[in-house]
């Protein structure tokens, strides 16, 4: 039996949904080099261990770990004799499977006693038995272990046992969930690299809850939570570890989602983690500098164009070879696409054009991070735009800025009218509703592939539950994208995408929109009554907000005034007036907006 000692990426089968064979196929397609096989997955599989071994070999996967063995050490002698009998059966199974490392978790059994000498002696005997089968034992401290719950304690026991087939498994969740400070991780340097038999990686949101429940339900991939997983990895690599970088993520959402995209997201997270830890080089991020356009795909242009007209947009150009019109107001540009591919369920935000100082370099980074680069049919002379697909399916076009090569995307359009007079209107931000199981993936994608910075996630009250939202933006605020997901995996017009248009006078913009026949979302009187209690306004200002349905927020940086249009298909618009120092999105008002939209649907 040969062991893969080169550093490669691996994933525990418990991290993915489906049958064992489906999980193996998803891991291989995503580019993983190996897997940890979780015992429950094997027990439920109709294939014999030899067949699973052959399946992994066909897929190019090594079996890096079999896990877990529980409640082995620190127990009375008669209990340990039974444990050795159980272990012998598992080692025989592992030989059939072709796995050479087993995970042994620190005991949580009520039989376990607080006796390090006993634990070391029993682990040494276990390792001696494992060695007969060509197997290594990786001892891991569970954060909720009965007596051994820190990596330092586990290492002291392994060191005392002093057996060549016994080492430690370091798990980022078990270490970092205990609130470990950088100085608490210094002990990793005391563990010889060859005695770190395995490394399991997971992130998690920072939650105040029982650590066992936190671990079993809320782990996520590195970069999606609040732990410094990169800092821990740097220390483990500095200690001399050269084994697999393996993900062990228990997450209720991941285990219900399609294994294919989840595995791709998982592999992306490890690529980014290696980059953050200085263990790998990727093409550098190219942060977009602005929003070139938002593209609406619609089977019926009339409601969309009526809404754009009321918002003051003018149809200025038409694509030379496609049924796509360019509508413009100031620096805000919206493409209306009536191609036959438009879905029957109505208008939707299908694509976003992002201005990039180096589109080719941005595309190289996207491809290196497993983002699907989209094929694009184009006629001779069309601008060769690179495009990648976001996790929710939105196409992101990378558009050159200024007079750089390749040619400006607007050269593909023939002018129909004079460009409207300059005005302050531009796209302030875009709000994209994510499929319920892709929220964390979307955040990691926009941070890593596009180089945007993520703000803290917030929970917003929805009439039927909670809506999660997290914004990503560039440093200048010229690109802002709010990512949201509803409380349930339902598909409705309330949790639709929307385009926020910046204006220097939201009252004038709202009045002009209404005078042009547009309909603004009505806001309950109770909301404005509450505003009167929370803020003082000049005479007549609050009455104007009440008349037009304008919502208001304020922070240390300034004020934010905004209102919403009716929804067309799965898209609506927002008019916003943002003080320069205000960095938010009016999230405090989202429950009122959501409730008003629900009422409008009824």
Give residue 210's pLDDT band: very low, low, confident or very high (50, 70, 90). Answer: confident
163 plus 87 within the same structural domain: yes
Question: Shortest CA distance to 245 belongs to which of 264, 257, 229?
Answer: 229
332 plus 216 within the same structural domain: no
The reported pLDDT for the residue numbered 231 is 94
- Tokens 């997270």 correspond to 269
For every residue of 314-335, DSSP letters joined together read EEEEEESSSSEEEEEETTEEEE
The answer to whether the CB of 361 falls within 8 A of the CB of 286 is yes
**Three-class SS of residue 453?**
strand
Within 10 Å of residue 138's Cβ, how many Cβ atoms? Answer: 27
Q: How many domains does the chain have?
A: 2
The reported pLDDT for the residue numbered 491 is 44
Residue ranges of alpha helices (H) inside 133-258 are 151-161, 172-176, 211-218, 229-238
The reported pLDDT for the residue numbered 409 is 87
The reported pLDDT for the residue numbered 424 is 73
Q: Has residue 132 got a pLDDT over 70?
A: yes
The reported pLDDT for the residue numbered 602 is 59
Residue ranges of alpha helices (H) inside 558-602 are 590-601
Domain membership of residue 3 (yes or no) is no
CA 375 → CA 2, 95, 403, distances in Å? 41, 45, 24
The reported pLDDT for the residue numbered 437 is 72
Domain membership of residue 407 (yes or no) is yes
Rounded to whole angstroms, how far apart are CA atoms 600 and 521?
A: 8
259 plus 372 within the same structural domain: no
The reported pLDDT for the residue numbered 417 is 76
Mean pLDDT, rounded, for 286-315: 95
Mean pLDDT, rounded, for 345-370: 92
Domain membership of residue 281 (yes or no) is no
Could you report the per-residue pLDDT of 432-467, keeping only the tens digit for each?
988 777 788 888 999 999 999 998 888 777 777 777
The reported pLDDT for the residue numbered 1 is 41
User: Would you state the structure tokens that stand for residue 577, as one six-digit string?
Assistant: 């007036």
449 plus 524 within the same structural domain: yes
- Angle at alpha carbon of residue 364, lines to 386 and 447, rounded to 5°: 90
Rounded to whole angstroms, how far apart are CA atoms 172 and 228?
A: 9
The reported pLDDT for the residue numbered 484 is 87
The reported pLDDT for the residue numbered 489 is 43
Phi first, then psi: what are they for 503, rounded to 5°?
-140, 155
Domain membership of residue 258 (yes or no) is yes
Greatest pairwise CA separation for the chain in angstroms: 90
Q: Which of 170-179, 413-422, 497-506 has the least mean pLDDT?
A: 413-422
pTM of this structure: 0.86
126 plus 242 within the same structural domain: yes
CA 278 → CA 198, 230, 233, 234, 275, distances in Å? 20, 9, 9, 8, 5
Instruction: Show which of 245, 276, 307 is a domain's final residue.
Output: 276
Three state DSSP letters for 274-288: HHHCCCCCCCCCCCC
Could you report the per-residue pLDDT of 469-516, keeping only the tens digit for each?
899 999 999 999 999 886 544 445 446 899 999 999 999 999 999 999
Q: Has residue 7 got a pLDDT over 80?
A: no
The answer to whether the CB of 507 falls within 8 A of the CB of 456 is no
Domain membership of residue 582 (yes or no) is yes
Q: Has residue 578 got a pLDDT over 60?
A: yes
Q: Has residue 425 got a pLDDT over 70?
A: yes
Mean pLDDT, rounded, for 525-541: 94
Strand 101-105 to strand 136-140: parallel, antiparallel, or no bridges (unpaired)?
parallel
Rounded to whole angstroms, how far apart are CA atoms 297 and 569?
A: 10
The reported pLDDT for the residue numbered 488 is 47
487 plus 550 within the same structural domain: yes
User: Mean pLDDT: which of 2-16, 400-414, 466-480 is highest?
Assistant: 466-480
Within 10 Å of residue 565's Cβ, how many Cβ atoms? Answer: 22
For every residue of 406-438, DSSP letters joined together read S--GGGGEEE-SPPPPP-S-EEEEEEEEPPTT-
308 plus 424 within the same structural domain: yes
Domain membership of residue 282 (yes or no) is no
Domain membership of residue 412 (yes or no) is yes
The reported pLDDT for the residue numbered 517 is 96
Whichever domain contains 67, its CATH number is: 3.20.20.150
454 plus 572 within the same structural domain: yes
Q: Which of 53-57, 102-106, 318-322 has the least mean pLDDT?
A: 318-322
The answer to whether the CB of 542 falls within 8 A of the CB of 527 is no
357 plus 269 within the same structural domain: no
Rounded to whole angstroms, how far apart are CA atoms 389 and 369?
A: 12
More confidently predicted of 377 and 480: 480
Domain membership of residue 1 (yes or no) is no
Rounded to whole angstroms, how far apart are CA atoms 61 and 33?
A: 5
340 plus 396 within the same structural domain: yes
Whichever domain contains 515, its CATH number is: 3.10.180.10
- Any idea how long the chain is? 602
Classify burial at 48, counting beta carbons within 10 Å of its beta carbon; exposed 0-12, middle 13-18, buried 19 or more.
exposed
Mean pLDDT, rounded, for 194-216: 88
Instruction: Quote the crossing angle between the two packed helices 151-161 and 116-132, to the nearest 10°.
Output: 60
Contacts of 359 (CB under 8 A, 6+ apart): 286, 385, 386, 398, 399, 400, 406
- Angle at alpha carbon of residue 456, lines to 450 and 462, rounded to 5°: 110
The reported pLDDT for the residue numbered 4 is 46
Give residue 394's pLDDT band: very low, low, confident or very high (50, 70, 90). Answer: very high
Rounded to whole angstroms, how far apart are CA atoms 187 and 496?
A: 50
Instruction: Quote the crossing angle between the two packed helices 77-97 and 116-132, to the nearest 10°.
Output: 30
Rounded to whole angstroms, how far apart are CA atoms 196 and 240?
A: 8
Within 10 Å of residue 378's Cβ, how many Cβ atoms? Answer: 13
Rounded to whole angstroms, how far apart are CA atoms 540 and 589?
A: 21
More confidently predicted of 228 and 401: 228
Instruction: Show which of 276, 310, 331 is a domain's final residue.
Output: 276
* Domain range for 336: 290-601
DSSP character for 3? -
The reported pLDDT for the residue numbered 342 is 59
Looking at every residue in the chain, the average pLDDT score rounds to 90
272 plus 320 within the same structural domain: no
Instruction: Show which of 276, 311, 326 is a domain's final residue.
Output: 276
The reported pLDDT for the residue numbered 462 is 73
More confidently predicted of 253 and 203: 203
299 plus 393 within the same structural domain: yes
């Amino acid at each position: 039996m040969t062991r893969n000692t080169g550093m490669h990426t691996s994933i525990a089968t418990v991290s993915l949904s489906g049958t064992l064979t489906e999980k193996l196929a998803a891991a291989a397609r995503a580019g993983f080099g190996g897997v940890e096989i979780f015992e429950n997955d094997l027990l439920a599989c109709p294939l014999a261990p030899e067949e699973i071994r052959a399946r992994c070999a066909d897929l190019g996967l090594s079996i890096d770990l079999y896990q877990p063995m529980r409640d082995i050490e620190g127990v009375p002698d008669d209990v340990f004799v039974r444990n050795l009998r159980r272990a012998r059966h598992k080692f025989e199974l592992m030989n059939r499977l072709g796995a050479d490392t087993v995970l042994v978790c620190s005991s949580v059994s009520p039989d376990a006693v607080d006796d390090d000498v006993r634990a070391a002696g029993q682990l040494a005997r276990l390792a001696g038995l494992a060695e007969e089968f060509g197997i290594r034992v990786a001892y891991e401290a569970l954060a909720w272990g009965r007596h051994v719950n820190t990596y330092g304690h586990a290492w002291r026991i392994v060191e005392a046992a002093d057996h060549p087939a016994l080492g430690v498994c370091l798990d980022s969740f078990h270490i970092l969930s205990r609130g470990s400070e950088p100085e608490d991780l210094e002990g990793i340097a005391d563990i010889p690299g060859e005695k770190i038999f395995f490394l399991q990686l997971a992130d998690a949101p920072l939650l105040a809850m029982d650590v066992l429940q936190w671990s079993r339900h809320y782990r996520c991939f590195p970069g999606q939570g609040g732990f410094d997983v990169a800092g821990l990895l740097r220390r483990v690599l500095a200690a001399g570890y050269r084994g697999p970088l393996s993900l062990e993520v228990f997450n209720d959402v991941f285990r219900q989602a399609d294994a294919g995209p989840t595995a791709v997201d998982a592999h992306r997270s490890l690529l980014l983690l290696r980059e953050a830890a200085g263990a790998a080089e990727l093409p550098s991020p190219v942060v977009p500098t602005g929003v070139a356009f938002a593209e609406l795909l619609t089977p019926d242009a009339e409601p969309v164009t009526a809404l754009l007209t009321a918002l003051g947009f003018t149809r200025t150009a038409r694509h030379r070879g496609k049924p796509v019109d360019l509508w413009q107001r100031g620096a805000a540009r919206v493409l209306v696409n009536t191609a036959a591919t438009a879905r029957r369920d109505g208008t939707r935000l299908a694509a976003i054009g992002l201005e990039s100082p180096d589109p080719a370099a941005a595309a190289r980074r996207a491809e290196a991070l497993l983002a699907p680069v989209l094929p694009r049919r184009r006629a001779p002379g069309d601008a060769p735009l690179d495009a990648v697909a976001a996790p929710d399916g939105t196409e992101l076009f990378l558009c050159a800025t200024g007079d750089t090569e390749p040619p400006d995307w607007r050269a593909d359009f023939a002018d129909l009218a004079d460009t409207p007079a300059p005005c302050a209107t531009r796209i302030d931000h875009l709000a994209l509703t994510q499929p319920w199981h892709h929220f964390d993936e979307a955040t990691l994608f926009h941070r890593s592939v596009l180089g945007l910075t993520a703000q803290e996630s917030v929970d917003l009250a929805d009439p039927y539950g909670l809506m999660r939202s997290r914004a990503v933006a560039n440093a200048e605020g010229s690109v802002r994208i709010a990512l949201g997901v509803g409380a349930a995996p339902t598909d409705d017009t309330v949790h639709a995408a929307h385009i926020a248009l910046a204006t220097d006078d939201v009252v004038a913009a709202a009045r002009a929109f209404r005078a042009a026949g547009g309909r603004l979302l009505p806001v309950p009187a109770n909301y404005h009554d509450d505003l009167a209690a929370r803020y003082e306004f000049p005479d007549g200002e609050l009455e104007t907000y009440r008349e037009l349905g304008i919502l208001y927020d304020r922070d240390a940086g300034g004020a934010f005034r905004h209102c919403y249009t009716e929804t067309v298909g799965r898209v609506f618009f927002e008019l916003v007036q943002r003080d320069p120092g205000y960095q938010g999105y009016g999230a405090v008002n989202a429950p009122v907006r959501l409730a008003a939209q629900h009422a409008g649907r009824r």
